[in-house]
Structure 1
Amino acid sequence: MRRTASSRAAVPAAFVFALMLAGCGQPAGPPSPGTAAATDPVTTVTAPSVTTPVTPGPTPTSDGTPSATGATTPSEAWTTYTTADGQLTFDLPAAWSVTDPAGELPEGGGAFAEIRNQAGKPLATLRTNMATGSTCMERHPYSVLDSQELPALTQNGLTPRFVFESRGSAKDPGPANTPGAAYGIATGPAPTGDTACPIFHFFTWPPTAAMFGAFYNPANNVTPGDPSSPYLEKAERYAGTDEYRDIKRMITSLRPAG
C-alpha cells in the first residue's frame, strides 16, 4: 500500500548536493575519479506502479552497459507516471521503475518518487513540499552542458529551466565533498560571468518548492569511454549518451497532472 509524507527540509546551498544525494540513495561523498528526444507514444498510469511497455521496440540492455557504439540502447516504449498526491505527471521509459519512499518522511503531504533504470541504478528523484534557502558563500568556475526552459511549470511569472551543469575545473575542482555536476530543474537565474555559486536545483512549486534531478555519478550514469578519465570530462561525454537524452526527456516532461 502506498503512503504519502512530507519532504520539507531547510537546505542551505552548501548542502544542496548532500540533500539531492540522500534522495537518490547515493553515498554522501563525491564519486571517485576512477569510477566508472523522441516522439514515442506513451500510456498513463498512477502511483505506485508503471504499466508495461505500450509500443514494441528494441529492448534496452539488461545491465545498462554501453552498446558497441559507445551509447546506451535508446528507450523505445514510454509510459506516464502520476504522483501519489495527483499533482504532477511525467513520462519515462517503460523499462525504468518508480518507487515512492514517502513513508520514510514525516507526515505532511507532498510527493516523493525515485526513478531507477532497468539495472536498478538511481537516476533521479522528484520531491515536492520542500522549504529551501540559499547563501552564496563561495564561487567556482562552471559549465552549462545543457539547458531548456519549462513553461509548463511557470509559477508567479517565473519559468524554471532544466539544466545540466558543473562546478569546478582542473585547477579548481569545485566545492569540497561534493560531485561537480548535476542535472535538474532550477527557478533561479542562470549564472553569468566566470564563476557561479554552488548548484541549487530547486524550483518554485506549491506550497513551497520542489526538486527533480540528481548528481551525475559515473557509478549510476553509464558513460562510455575511459573510466579513469577526470570526472568533469566524463560528465561532458555523458551529455551525449542515449541514457542522458532519456533522462532529459523524462525531467522536461514534468507537468501539472490533468
Structure 2
Amino acid sequence: MARSILHRAREIGLIAEDSFPVVFLRKTTKSDYFSNADIRSLEEQLETDFMMWLRTTQPPPGSRLREAVLARQFGVSNTTIREFLIGLSRFGFIRKEPQRSWILEGFTEQYALELHEVRQMFETRAISAIFTIPKEAPFWGKMLRIRQEHIQLRKEIDTRFIEFSELDSRFHRILNAATGNRFMDGFQDSISLIFHFHYRWSNKNQVERIILAIREHLEIIDAILDRDQVGAVKALERHLATAHQTFVASIHRD
C-alpha cells in the first residue's frame, strides 16, 4: 500500500522523483486522492457490488443463486464467492443448497424485530465506545470526511441517490469499528445487505426516504463531533427505529 501511494504521488507531481527524505512539490488537492473504489479491500468491493446487484435486480425470496454465475458476475473466484455467501448464511439471509447453489430466504416480522434488537444493542455499544477514543485518533477525521460526503450527496441527491446504500454501509461500519470487536464488524457487513435488499423502496418515495436517512445520519454525526453522548444515542435510536419501520413495511409488501 505504501509503495502504491508513493507511486501515485510521483505520477501526479506531488513529490519529487527518488527524493529521500520525501520532498513535497505542492499542496494536495481533492483530485489527488484515491477514489473509494481504489482503496476498498476485495471483500468490501464484493459486498458493495453484491448489494448494488440486489438493489438493482431485486430477486424475490426463494430465488436460486449459483456460485459459478455469481463469481462471473462479480469477477471473483468461486472460492471467494462461496466464502462470502457462507458469511451471509449465518444471519438467515440465504440458505445453502446442493450443487453449489443458494436460496434467498424470505423474512417475517419476528425476524425483523430480532434483527432490530441486535442491531440496536451493537450500535448503542459502539456509540459508548466512540467517546473513549482519543482526540488525535484517525476516527475523528473519518467522521468529518463522511459528514461531508453526506452533505455532498444530499446536494446531488436527484442524480446520485443510488449511491446512498454504499455510504450507509460505510457509515455504520465506521461506528461499529470503534469498538474493535471483529464480530460486530462482521455483523455490519451482513446487516447492510439484508436491510438494503429488503427496503424495496418504491419510485414514489425513494428519494424522500434517502433524504430522511441522510438527515438522521447527520444528526448522529453532529452529536458525536459535539461530544454529546446522550444526543448521539437518542439520534441513533431514532434512526434505527426509522430503518426498522421501513424494513417491516417492505415485508408486508412481499
Q: Same fold (TM over 0.5)?
A: no
Q: So what's the TM-score if we normalise by structure 1?
A: 0.27
Which of structures 1 and 2 has the bigger CA Rg? 2
- Which has the bigger relative contact order, CA under 8 A and spacing at least 6? 1
More helix by share: 2
More strand by share: 1
